[in-house]
């Protein structure tokens, strides 16, 4: 009998992955897992790429370390599921030994065996494996076989590197590994939506960088601190990311002075977009991300969005565009940003908010009004004050 080696297998499930893309995906995912475990202080762990899966081999960990390890994988984009397995030789007796020790970890009334054989050079096939291991588990546990809805499913993956035997699959967040797409600049407010928008795009592989406009001293320190904590929470998924802060009140004062009430919000947003675009260009970000959702507030009409978008040429990604508020709230709760977002705070724009914003601004009206402002020098000044 050879040794049974404890090892965690990590699966991803982007079905369209082929050729080079697949290798890039696996390498990126493996690297992100390594980095995340390192940040969590779990140094004694070897991550390898292995035929369509990634494996993590580690020494003996206590319960807390195991929990940290699981939480790390559960928050790494690209992980579809993972399971703590035993790795044995491609030998039916060894597989049986592993299956029995996995089955011994928990009580169950019914079970099933699911064997997948990725190599064809074993002297036994999947069916024979299911039969021998099934009867051994039945004999040892007294439980019944149930192939449709068993309490315990024992998986046996027979590969070139040996057989992986495991039971409990733990779900990861899915998506694509952070860094597989370009950097993108997230316009983050202290609200509910923009953190969720960031999460959605992080999940599709972008590397986030954040920009927040604040009106300190018109707004409190607490609102700045809140945004920092939102970013910290989002960082649990993608790792540490920069947060830029732009003191926006000079621009707001200029707008307050020269722009009719009803156009103020659109004007703030157009200025925000211009500043964001310039920052993005400076730091190599390829798109802007906002938490806008169609019709959610009076200013978020299609027409207004078009006018806002017109201020810049960089793509603006709005992953929440078709979401209902309740779905956004649910998502915010699930990713741990809701409680932070709903702490009372004064937003930079609520302080300078008009009573009745225009819902159907036209580009020509706005461009006419903008002539009263020294747009390019305002943008230049704003860029110089970003920290
Ligand atoms: P959120 O919940 O993200 O604040 P919202 O529904 O309140 O969104 P608005 O306040 O109109 O909508 O803002 C629309 C988008 O503009 C935000 O989702 C965010 O991306 C961006 N934005 C608004 N205020 C700021 C700010 N102070 N700093 C950075 N981005 C901002
Ligand atoms: Mg807001």
Q: What does DSSP assign to residue 247?
A: E
> Which pairing describes strands 5-11 and 81-88: parallel, antiparallel, or unpaired?
antiparallel
Identify which ligand lies nearest to the alpha carbon of 194.
1
Ligand 1 near 382 CB (within 6 A): no
Q: Rounded CA gap, 79 and 235, in Å?
A: 16
Q: Would residue 177 count as lying in a domain? A: no
Query: In this predicted model, what pLDDT tens digit does every residue of 12-53 receive, in sequence order?
Result: 977 667 777 888 899 999 999 999 999 999 998 999 988 778
> What's the mean per-residue pLDDT of the chain?
93
pLDDT of residue 352: 66
- Name the closest-CA residue to atom 12, ligand 1: 292
Of 171, 188, 112, residue with least CA distance to 341:
188
Q: Would residue 176 count as lying in a domain? A: no
Which element (helix H / strand E) includes 214?
strand 207-214
Phi and psi (nearest 5°) for 123?
A: -75, 0
State in Å: Cα 189 to ligand 1 middle.
5
Q: Are residues 243 and 165 part of one domain?
A: no
Among 193, 211, 270, 305, name the best residue to mutate to test ligand 1's pocket (greatest count of ligand atoms within 8 A of Cβ).
193
pLDDT of residue 206: 97
Res. 68 pLDDT band, cuts 50 70 90: very high
> Is 300:327 a contact under the CB 8 Å cutoff?
no
Q: Are residues 189 and 52 part of one domain?
A: no
Ligand 1 near 212 CB (within 6 A): yes
Last residue of a domain, one of 127, 149, 171: 171
Reported residue count of the chain is 387
Q: Are residues 103 and 15 part of one domain?
A: yes
Ligand 1 near 32 CB (within 6 A): no
Q: Would residue 178 count as lying in a domain? A: no
Q: Are residues 238 and 98 part of one domain?
A: no
Q: Are residues 201 and 342 part of one domain?
A: yes
Outline where the chain has alpha helix (H).
Answer: 19-39, 63-74, 92-103, 126-141, 193-203, 221-238, 249-258, 264-283, 302-309, 325-335, 338-341, 348-351, 363-370, 375-384
State in Å: Cα 330 to ligand 2 middle.
17
Q: Rounded CA gap, 8 and 75, in Å?
A: 16
Q: Are residues 227 and 159 part of one domain?
A: no
Q: Are residues 240 and 167 part of one domain?
A: no
Q: What is the pTM of this model?
A: 0.92
Q: Would residue 110 count as lying in a domain? A: yes
Q: What does DSSP assign to residue 3?
A: P
* SS3 state of residue 299: coil
Q: Are residues 147 and 29 part of one domain?
A: yes
Among 246, 265, 277, 291, name the best residue to mutate to test ligand 1's pocket (greatest count of ligand atoms within 8 A of Cβ).
291
Of 233, 192, 229, residue with least CA distance to 323:
192
Q: Check which CATH number belongs to the domain holding 98 and give it.
A: 3.30.2130.30
* SS3 state of residue 83: strand
Q: Give the domain extent around 234.
A: 183-385
CB atoms within 10 A of CB 123: 8
**More confidently predicted of 191 and 218:** 191
Q: Rounded CA gap, 217 and 252, in Å?
A: 13
Ligand 1 near 30 CB (within 6 A): no
Last residue of a domain, one of 171, 192, 220: 171
Query: In this predicted model, what pLDDT tens digit does every residue of 118-170 receive, in sequence order?
Result: 998 999 999 999 999 999 999 999 999 998 999 999 999 999 989 999 999 99
- Name the closest-CA residue to atom 23, ligand 1: 189
Q: Are residues 159 and 193 part of one domain?
A: no
CB atoms within 10 A of CB 219: 21
The count of domains in the chain is 2
Q: Are residues 148 and 99 part of one domain?
A: yes
Q: Are residues 269 and 131 part of one domain?
A: no
Q: Check which CATH number belongs to the domain holding 259 and give it.
A: 3.40.50.620
Ligand 1 near 194 CB (within 6 A): yes
pLDDT of residue 129: 97
- Name the closest-CA residue to atom 18, ligand 1: 291
Q: Are residues 358 and 255 part of one domain?
A: yes
Ligand 1 near 290 CB (within 6 A): yes
Residue by residue, DSSP assigns 153-207 as EEEEEEETTEEEEE---EE---SB-TTSS-EEEEE--SSSHHHHHHHHHHHBTPE
Among 185, 186, 187, name the best residue to mutate to test ligand 1's pocket (greatest count of ligand atoms within 8 A of Cβ).
187
């Amino acid at each position: 009998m050879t040794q049974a080696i404890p090892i965690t297998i990590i699966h991803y499930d982007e079905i369209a992955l082929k050729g080079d893309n697949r290798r890039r995906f696996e390498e990126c995912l493996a690297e992100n897992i390594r980095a995340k475990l390192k940040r969590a202080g779990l140094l004694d762990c070897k991550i390898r790429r292995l035929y369509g899966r990634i494996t993590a081999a580690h020494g003996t960990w206590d319960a807390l370390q195991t929990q940290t390890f699981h939480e790390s994988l559960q928050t790494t984009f690209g992980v579809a599921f993972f399971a703590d397995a035993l790795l044995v030789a491609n030998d039916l007796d060894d597989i049986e030994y592993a299956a029995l020790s996995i089955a011994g970890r928990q009580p169950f009334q019914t079970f099933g065996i699911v064997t997948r054989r990725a190599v064809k050079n074993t002297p036994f096939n999947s069916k024979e494996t299911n039969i021998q291991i099934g009867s051994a588990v039945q004999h040892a546990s007294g439980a019944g076989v149930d192939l449709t809805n068993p309490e315990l499913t024992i998986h046996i993956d027979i590969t070139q590197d040996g057989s992986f035997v495991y039971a409990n699959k733990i779900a990861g967040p899915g998506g694509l590994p952070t860094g597989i797409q370009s950097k993108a600049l997230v316009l983050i407010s202290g609200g509910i939506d923009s953190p969720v928008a960031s999460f959605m795009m992080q999940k599709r592989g972008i590397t986030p960088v954040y920009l927040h406009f604040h009106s300190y001293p018109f707004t409190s320190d607490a609102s700045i601190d809140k945004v920092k904590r939102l970013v910290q929470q989002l960082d649990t998924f993608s790792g540490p990311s920069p947060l830029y802060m732009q003191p926006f009140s000079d621009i707001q004062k200029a707008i307050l002075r020269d722009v009719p009430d009803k156009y103020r919000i659109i004007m703030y947003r157009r200025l925000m977009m211009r500043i964001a675009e310039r920052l993005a260009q400076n730091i190599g970000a390829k798109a802007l991300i906002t938490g806008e959702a169609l019709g959610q507030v009076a200013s978020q009409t299609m027409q207004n969005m078009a006018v806002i978008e017109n201020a810049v040429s960089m793509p603006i990604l709005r992953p929440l565009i078709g979401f209902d508020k309740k779905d956004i709230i649910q998502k915010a709760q699930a990713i741990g940003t809701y409680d932070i977002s709903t702490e009372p705070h004064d937003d930079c724009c609520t302080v300078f908010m008009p009573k009745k914003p225009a819902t159907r601004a036209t580009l020509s009206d706005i461009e006419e009004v903008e002539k009263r402002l020294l747009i390019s020098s305002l943008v230049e000044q704003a860029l110089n004050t970003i920290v």
